[in-house]
Amino acid sequence: MRRLLLASSSRYRQELLSRLRLRFDSCAPEIDETALPNENAEQLVRRLAEYKARALAARYPDHLIIGSDQVAVLGEEILGKPHTFERAKQQLLAASGESVKFLTGLALLDSVSDRLQVDCVPFTVHFRTLDEARIERYLNAEQPYDCAGSFKAEGLGISLFRSTQGEDATSLVGLPLIRLVDMLLIEGVEIP
């Protein structure tokens, strides 16, 4: 079987990929994640997913390399990782009663043939109306400062949602497994 490499140090993505019961290594790619001028959110996540995979191809010349990147979009604004309590609070206040679209770019690169598959998987979260006290309780309980959108859907963050909409809930956590399985099957990886 081909060796797999997850181009990420994200524990969330590692936990998701582990669900497929495939052996894999992981390594953080060193890339600039700054958006290009006039680049929309979908273009951004597709490009960054590909760049993450390609950044490790020379070091891992006999691998299928998985790259993924995610952004949250509220209206026309791209929400990044908040990193602080105050920024997380502002993001959740802005999302209160609104819908936030999560776009997850996914790339699978065969470092032998240089064959590349790239896609973008959307998922929408419709938020409940949230007051400051509820937001602060949530942030103090879960501290999701390393998560785009300021919540952990796999944890207590689910309590902030009114509903969700999308084909693959794992894309919300950062690695769309349904689409990834499609890509791996094309490359001849047997699952299960």
Active site residues: 69
Write the CA distances from 115 to 21, 81, 112, integer angstroms: 24, 31, 8
The answer to whether the beta carbons of residues 42 and 146 sit under 8 Å apart is no
Which of 148, 154, 174, 190 has its CA nearest to residue 49? Answer: 174
The length of the chain in residues reads: 192
**Strand partners for 121:** 104
Quote the tokens at residue 149. Answer: 């959108």
Query: How deeply is 37 buried, as exposed, middle or buried, from its count of CB atoms within 10 A (0-12, 13-18, 19+)?
Result: exposed
Which runs of consecutive H residues, i.e. helices, occur in 71-176? 85-95, 132-142, 170-173
CB atoms under 10 Å from CB of 169, counted, come to: 14
Instruction: Tell me the residue type at 67.
Output: G
**Strand partners for 69:** 105
